[in-house]
Amino acid sequence: MTDDRDGGRREPAPNRRASRRVGADGLRSDGGDAIADGREADLDRGPFQRWVADSISRPERVYRAMFYVAAIFFLVTTLFPFYWLLMVALTPEGQLQNILFTPNGFNPGAFVEVFEVIPFHWYMFNSFVIALGSTIVVLVVGSLAGYAFGRLEFPGRTPLMLLVLVISFFPPAAFFIPLNDLFNTQFAALEPITGDGTLYNTPGALVTPLSAIFMPLSIFILTTFYAQIPDGLEDAARVEGTTRLGALFRVIIPLSAPGVATAGVLTFIAVYNEFFFSFLMTDGQPQNWAPILEGILAYQGQYEVMYHLMAAASILGVIPVAILVVVAQEKIVSGLTAGALKE
């Protein structure tokens, strides 16, 4: 019986396949088989295939889904470290194990303690002065260079521009040893300003090299912007009573506000965040103009590392830059895109 049955079962199979083929060709139709075929074609498409077909016919949903996936990915990768920093800062000292999504305990006092252990506000002030000073130097010198490159015709303009570009490719570390040596050399002319006649342990030791390093980018941004201001406006200002410099500051710079804001904010952030020179150009004492970086590292003693205070200090250090970016964001965006379109 079983054999028979098996044989009986086996036998129709090739038949069905054959009839299916024929039915598909439409040459011969067998009622029951044809219906079974139709159902089977539908059933062949699993949920995945149906989803694909659906996505092809209506791609908007897929685009939206992909937007969310990408947005969430970037938000998580950028914001999670910051979140985690906050968790570390809120965790009381000595309980730093196994922090992932929640702090081990709750100690907002760390944000106050930061200022009690060392004068962190002093470090912040130093960083602020250094970043602001570099930004001013970069904007003033970069504006003059941008005016010359963008609005004047003179022999050797392109080679000079290329030279600026080449210098911006140098690794800053290559300048460190000679600069450090230079800043530790005493100059009689500097004595009334710095006391011992050296630039080491003054803001100058940071402002000078950092503004030089970040200058080329600003020169390029400002050149692009200043070149776009019509000649007639500058001529009008000069006839009305300004010098060329006066025209630059009264007409060209105000009309290039997005470019100036972009160059200024980029420089400020870059100098504020800079590590290498900031770490080595002062002895780390706040009264000697040590920047934030030294302040954060100061919580690292010989026998203990106060991670929660380092984290709290890091968060406090980010706040000024975050405010600056939010305030200047609109101008930066229009500045960056305007520069991009021009090229």
Partner 1 sequence: MARVRLEHVTKRYDDVVAVDDMNVEIEDGEFVCLVGPSGCGKSTTMETIAGLTRPSEGTVYIGETDVTNLAPKDRGIAMVFQNIALFPHMDVFENVSFGLRLRTFDDEEIERRVEEAAEIVQLEGMLDRMPDEMSGGQRQRVAIARAIVRNPDVFLMDEPLANLDAKLRVHMRTELQRLHKQLDTTIIYVTHDQAEAMTMSDRIAVIDAGRLQQIDPPLTCYNEPANLFVAGFIGSPSMNFVRGTVVAGGLETENFDLEFDPAGVPEVGVGDEVTLGVRPEDVHLVADADGSARRIGTIEATTDVLEPMGDEIFVYLLLDEESEGSMEEDPMASQDQLLMSVSPDTDLREGDAVEVTLDGSKTHLFDAESGDALVHGIAGRSGSDPGTAPTEAED
Interface residue list for partner 1 (CB under 8 A): 230, 232-233, 235-243, 246, 251, 254-255
CB of 243 to partner 1, least distance (A): 7
CB of 281 to partner 1, least distance (A): 40
Residue 125, Cβ density class (10 Å: 0-12 exposed, 13-18 middle, ≥19 buried): middle
Instruction: Report the residue number, 205 or 222, with the smaller CB distance to partner 1.
Output: 222
CB of 244 to partner 1, least distance (A): 9
CB of 238 to partner 1, least distance (A): 5
CB of 233 to partner 1, least distance (A): 5
Instruction: Report the residue number, 203 or 259, with the smaller CB distance to partner 1.
Output: 259
Instruction: Report the residue number, 174 or 239, with the smaller CB distance to partner 1.
Output: 239
Instruction: Report the residue number, 226 or 289, with the smaller CB distance to partner 1.
Output: 226
Instruction: Report the residue number, 204 or 259, with the smaller CB distance to partner 1.
Output: 259
Instruction: Report the residue number, 57 or 158, with the smaller CB distance to partner 1.
Output: 158
Alpha helix (H) ranges present in 26-152? Answer: 31-44, 47-57, 60-90, 110-117, 120-151
Instruction: Report the residue number, 237 or 265, with the smaller CB distance to partner 1.
Output: 237
CB of 148 to partner 1, least distance (A): 18
CB of 231 to partner 1, least distance (A): 9
CB of 85 to partner 1, least distance (A): 42
The DSSP result for 136-190, as a single string, is HHHHHHHHHHHHHHHH---TTHHHHHHHHHHHHTS-THHHHHHHHHHHTS--GGG
Q: What is the DSSP letter of 92?
A: P
Residue 127, SS3? helix
Cα–Cα distance between 238 and 48 in angstroms, integer? 71
Cα–Cα distance between 63 and 56 in angstroms, integer? 11
Region for residue 246 given its phi and psi (left: phi exceeds 0; alpha: psi -120 to 50; beta: otherwise): alpha
Instruction: Report the residue number, 116 or 330, with the smaller CB distance to partner 1.
Output: 330
Residue 310, SS3? helix
Cβ within 8 Å of residue 249, ≥6 positions away:
none
Backbone φ and ψ of 11, nearest 5°:
-60, -45
Cα–Cα distance between 154 and 24 in angstroms, integer? 81
Contact 178, 208 (CB under 8 A): no
